[in-house]
Amino acid sequence: MYLVIAEKPSVSRAIAEVIGAQEREDGYLRGTDCMVSWCFGHLVEYVSPDAYDEKFNQWRYEDLPIIPKDWKVTVSEDKKDQFYILKRLLNSPEIEYVVNACDAGREGELIFKHVYDLSGSKKPVKRLWISSLEDSAILDGMQHLRSAEEYRHLAEAAVCRSQADWLVG
């Protein structure tokens, strides 16, 4: 059994239809050999400065720059239910490997990385890299899954960009 995680429910439904995951469950679709779920975009985000130190509740020039030693993330309050569904699936003994089907690009890598890392999963990850939701493109992409390692530098670039955004505000 494998788990496919897409960035949005609409993409998940398109993939699920092609790979035969038609049974609706709470927060995912199930097939005979797969499950397909989604992230609702950025489920996980960096915490605000005051989570590091209460003194950052009030902005003071002398406290700048605020540079976290260890970057902390949290689950968006309105998306917690879906995160916990993903966490359960990502750590299920039923799942052999995970397919990152988030959007092909830097942001898709970041969205998946944050959810995967925060879930604590150690499952092997493969990458579905497609730019079309045509059935033929999905099928071809699923037949030619790539190693997640090929995209490690893109994920690292996404983390750098996201942290830079946080630092600049």
Asked if residue 13 has pLDDT above 80, the reply is yes
What's the pLDDT at 152?
Answer: 94
Distance CA 126, CA 98 (A): 6
Parallel, antiparallel or unpaired: strands 2-6 and 34-38: parallel
Name the token pair of 9. Answer: 């429910």
Percentage of residues of the chain with pLDDT beyond 70: 100
Asked if residue 26 has pLDDT above 90, the reply is yes
What's the pLDDT at 59?
Answer: 83
Position 169 confidence tier, pLDDT thresholds 50, 70, 90 = confident
Asked if residue 57 has pLDDT above 80, the reply is yes
Q: Choose among 123, 125, 127: nearest CA to 142.
A: 127
Percentage of residues of the chain with pLDDT beyond 90: 94
Going by C-beta distance under 8 Å and a sequence separation of 6 or more, which residues neighbour residue 26?
85
Q: Which residue is it, tokens 């998306």?
A: 79
Q: Mean pLDDT across the stretch 118-145?
A: 97
Q: Mean pLDDT across the stretch 63-86?
A: 95
Q: Choose among 25, 42, 43: nearest CA to 34.
A: 25
Residue 104 DSSP one-character state:
S
The reply to whether the predicted model has a pTM over 0.85 is yes
CATH class of 2-43+73-168: alpha beta
DSSP-based three-state secondary structure for 8: coil
pLDDT digits (tens, 9 = 90+) for 77-120: 999 999 999 999 999 999 999 999 999 999 999 999 999 999 99
What's the pLDDT at 96?
Answer: 98
Position 126 confidence tier, pLDDT thresholds 50, 70, 90 = very high
Distance CA 90, CA 99 (A): 10
Asked if residue 8 has pLDDT above 80, the reply is yes
Q: Mean pLDDT across the stretch 138-149?
A: 96
Distance CA 50, CA 33 (A): 44
* Mean of per-residue pLDDT scores for the chain: 96
